[in-house]
Each structure stands twice: as structure tokens, then as C-alpha cells.
Chain A
């Protein structure tokens, strides 16, 4: 199956340093582990490496440990073992310095229901000792404007739809300039239009210089806006790479369907194809670059097979998409809608 995708934002070169630690990875963890008191190991010795300037998709199905990892990164939950650094600061010692430069959204929006959207942001801003009270009102309105909530700013949070709540949470992240955004499933509960807007917003923020770590269970989200991906599966980080590398690693295979597969195998071997597999009447092999386009491309194989007297019933070239790559990593599929 194929997943339609808009062009991936180019893996931008490292942005101007946000400070002394601008060239350090934005997030680095060493064997980070969380075992809850229930005995459940939610996160199992993961080594994250989120490069500065990347949009890092932290991909995994529900319950794979994404939120628990983010809670550990932010110091909300103490790791059972392992260490981590944020923006080059070892945690938890550097929490005060590092967290001020980080905007975080953990597991869905949470605000005081009987306060207005604006009053909720005012409270967040008031709690921030790095926030300048003189610019507070302007910054709050700017953030509300940016997420399209200015018109509803006076409404009580209780009256907000889930989409509006999610946006208010994003506005809270935007009150200050940030070097790193850690966003836990920021498009959850949004309609397609809202989802598109939030993804555009994230891309803009990344372009402006912020590193973004985005947790999601949607492969399509990663394909659309991420430059890097880390894949979680039952508490383990099973893969971590730039997206382009994963794509390049996805190798094309030829697929020949024939009543006499052994004959087909001979022909394919003669052309130097490798990893030849036979399953019933179906033969597949890695195409590689042995049959280059200038030599006639894969089509050349068809005539060769026919000349060799192989009864060919079907022929095709299969390029696995990212989903296939991830299924091979985790043994299960991802939700590709949304």
C-alpha cells in the first residue's frame, strides 16, 4: 500500500545556536527506563538522539511508552534508571535552565475549566519567571492569534471544543521563544482542517529555528512533517534514523509469478539479483542496481524470462513504503489515516 505524502520538509542544516549549547543534540537519553510501581516497564532502556534543528517524529502505537518518555524528559516522572540531557544540560540538575527554553505539551490539553482561554494563558505566563510582565498581554494575544483562537479568547475553557483546547495548549507553548518543542500527539482530536493547520504551524516553528520532538501514532504525520524518526514498540526504541535514510534503505524487489519458479530463479540469478526467495509460485529478489535503466531496466528481465522459456504469469517491481519498513520493525501496523 502507498501512503500519500506531501514533500518532506528538507532536513534543514543546523540552525543558529540558541545559546551556548546550540550544537548539542536537543534531546539525548542514555538507557532511560521507567518501571512503574505496578511492575509495568513502560519505557525500557531507550537511547534517544534528537538532533538540533530536526523535526523528530516519536512514533509508536498507543501504550508504547511515548508519553511516559516525555514525562521523564520533563522531570514529571523520575526514571527508574538511565540519564538524559536537554539542550546540552544534564537533567535534572539543569532543569531550570533547560526547561525555560522548552515548550512542552504533555498528553492532551489541561486547563482550568471555569477560566477563559486568555485567563488560562495569563496564569501560565504568570508562573514563568522568565516572562516579562510588561509584554504579557501582547504575547498572549499573539499566541492566541497564531493558533486562531483570538476570537474565542474570552470564552470559558469549559465551552471549548476539543480542537480549540488542543490549540490553546499550543498557544501556551508559544508564549515564549523556544529552542525545543516537545509535543505529545498535538493533532489528537483535531478535525482534518485543524490537523492541517497544526502541522503547518509546526513546520513554521521548525523553519524559524526550533527543534521539534513530536510524538504521534500516525505514520502519515511523520511522513508529512518530520525529518527524523524514532520508533517505539512496547517500551523499546526499535529504530531511530533520518527519514531519508529509512526511505533509501527500503529496497525495491522484483516479483515474478510463474508455474515453474525454479526456472525463474535461474534467470534472475544469471542477472545477478540477490536475496532470491521462492514462496509457492512467487519468486522475489532484490533488484538492486544490477539492472540499471540504461541496460533496459527491470523490463529487460521480462524479455529475458520469456526468452528463457519461463512461463511468466505476473511480473512487478515492489518498493516497500515506510509502513512496510515499520511493520517489519514492530511486527504490527500503524494507523495511517489522518
Chain B
């Protein structure tokens, strides 16, 4: 075909070549998640908790330790503990809720709007769509955790100061080491949440109702908490998704206690793999009739 013809007949013959690696869709997905007002509101709630904790402790301090959660009593000694206390408080409900909302919306939200058919017709390969959706969920899990930690650390340092950190095992470490430990905690929690995100992504491929997928995922997490609290079911506990979540405190010992951390990461990896595989099996053959 001559150049002249190509100009007058804009057929797809002169379609730009396929870009093997393109992050545009992934970035668009992030923009969708982090640009949405609903998610801003959710993240504002997540960020409010460390602020509330810091201010409440400041107003009522000083107070003898004991009784309350480990981290709360340590806050006055070092502001970094605000971040840890906030993470501990939000891990049972708020963080799973936030991740469930994003993951539940991932596929079901697009199906509900009908935009799923547009994306698939572009074409976006179904496996790629799931991969991008899951990657964005992971980014959100990391961001939500980091947001709480960052707001908590900042508020804590402003109100209570920093300096060397007394770990849970009683050993004192320099502030820098304390900060590294906080980052490790965030990483561990994000990995646990990413596993829940995989569950949510799977649920999201089952329905066209994003709210339904969110609620189902949250119920999955809460049921895990409940079963984990029933001693008679201790044989089941190691297999529950949330069983090792609170083990992040082990990262604040010296040396780091890994008896629960490694199983915790293993459990998260297993949940992630199993539910991603299930999501793929379901989604790659599903009829898109929305």
C-alpha cells in the first residue's frame, strides 16, 4: 500500500506495533483507585486512627504501663509506637475492610459498570487484566499500611519525640534501627493483606456486584478471626488466613522471633497462590454477559 493510500485509508495496517511491555494500563488502574473519592474517604479514616491514638495518649498521659495493648503503653517513650499501635488497632477490621473494598471492586466493579466488556474488546487479555488488577490491589495494600505507619510515626514524633527505641524484648536500639523495624512490620502486614486481596479478587470474579464481593471478602476475614479465637478449633488455626497477622510484633524483638513470621509469610503466599489460581481459572473461561 502506498503512502498516499495509507493516508486516505486509515486502515489498521498502519497500527503501531504491539508494545510488549507497557505500564500504562497499570498506571491507569492506580489512577482509578487513588483518584476515586470513595477511596480517599477510606484512606482518611485509616489515617485518622493514628492521629486519634496519638492525641488521646498525649491528653491523658502520663499513665503507668500494663493493662492496655503493648504498644499503647510504650507510646510516651517513643513516638514510633504510635504507628505500631495504630497498625495493631486497624489490622483486625479497618485494613481488611479497605483491602476488601478495593479487591471486591476490582473485577465486579468493572462488570457492574459494563466497562469490563470494553477492556476485553480492546483487547486486554484476561490474564493480563487479572495481573494488573492484582498488582494494583497489592500497591493499595502497601499504600494503606504505609499511610497508617507514616501518619502514626509523624504524629508520634511530633508529640512524643523519637530517639532510641526500647524493643518488646527490652533491648534498646538506635532510632534508625527502629525505623527499619517499622518498615519490616509494614511489609509483613502488607503481605498478609495482599493474601486477603487475592481472596477478594477471586470473589470479585464470581459476581457483578462489587459491594457483595467486598462484604463476602470481609466476612471471610472476620470469620477467620472468630474461628481463630475458639480454642477448641486449634487444629484449624494454622490454616486460617488471619492466624499469623498479629505476629508482626515478633519483628520488634531482638533478635527477630521468626517462629511465627515465616509461617505467616508462608500462609500469605499459599493463600495468594491458591486464590489467584482460582481467580484465573474462573475468570479466564467466564462468560461476560454484563
Contacts and interface: CB of A to CB of B under 8 A. Distances in A.
A145 to B, nearest CB: 15
A71 B1 CA distance: 32
Interface string B260-290: 0000000000000000000000000101110
Contacts of A76: 117, 120-121, 287-289
Given A19-B13, A110-B114, A74 B120 contact: yes
A50 interface: no
A217 interface: no
Nearest to A101: B12
A95 interface: yes
B24 A18 contact: no
Contacts of B14: 177
A270 interface: no
Contacts of B19: 129-130
Given A179-B11, A209-B11, A129 B22 contact: yes
A15 B6 CA distance: 12
Greatest chain B CB density within 10 A among A101, A123, A178, A179 is at A123
Given A76-B287, A112-B115, A208-B9, A126 B121 contact: no
A76 to B, nearest CB: 4
B18 A130 contact: yes
Greatest chain B CB density within 10 A among A76, A133, A210 is at A76
B28 A18 contact: no
B115 A16 contact: no
Given A112-B115, A123-B28, A126-B25, A18 B122 contact: no
B123 A100 contact: yes
Contacts of B259: none
B16 interface: yes
A275 B122 CA distance: 53
Contacts of B32: 112, 115, 123
A131 B118 contact: no
A113 B120 CA distance: 19
Interface residues of B, number: 40
Given A16-B9, A74-B121, A176-B12, A133 B288 contact: no
B232 interface: no
B117 A101 contact: no
Given A122-B28, A126-B24, A130-B18, A106 B11 contact: no
Given A19-B13, A113-B113, A114-B37, A77 B287 contact: yes
Contacts of A113: 113
A127 B124 contact: yes
Interface string A8-51: 00000001111100100000000000000000000000000000
A177 B10 contact: yes
Interface string A84-121: 00000000000110011110101111111111000000
9 contacts: A71-B117, A75-B120, A78-B285, A99-B123, A104-B121, A113-B113, A126-B28, A127-B124, A129-B20
Q: What 5 A-B pairs come out closest when comparing CB atoms?
A: A110-B114, A101-B12, A99-B123, A209-B9, A18-B11
Given A17-B1, A130-B15, 18 more contacts: A19-B12, A19-B13, A74-B121, A76-B117, A78-B285, A106-B117, A106-B118, A108-B114, A110-B117, A114-B37, A122-B28, A124-B118, A127-B24, A127-B28, A127-B124, A129-B18, A130-B17, A177-B12
Interface of B: 1, 5, 8-20, 22, 24-25, 27-28, 31-32, 36-37, 113-115, 117-125, 285, 287-289
Interface of A: 15-19, 22, 71, 74-78, 95-96, 99-102, 104, 106-115, 122-133, 172, 176-179, 208-210
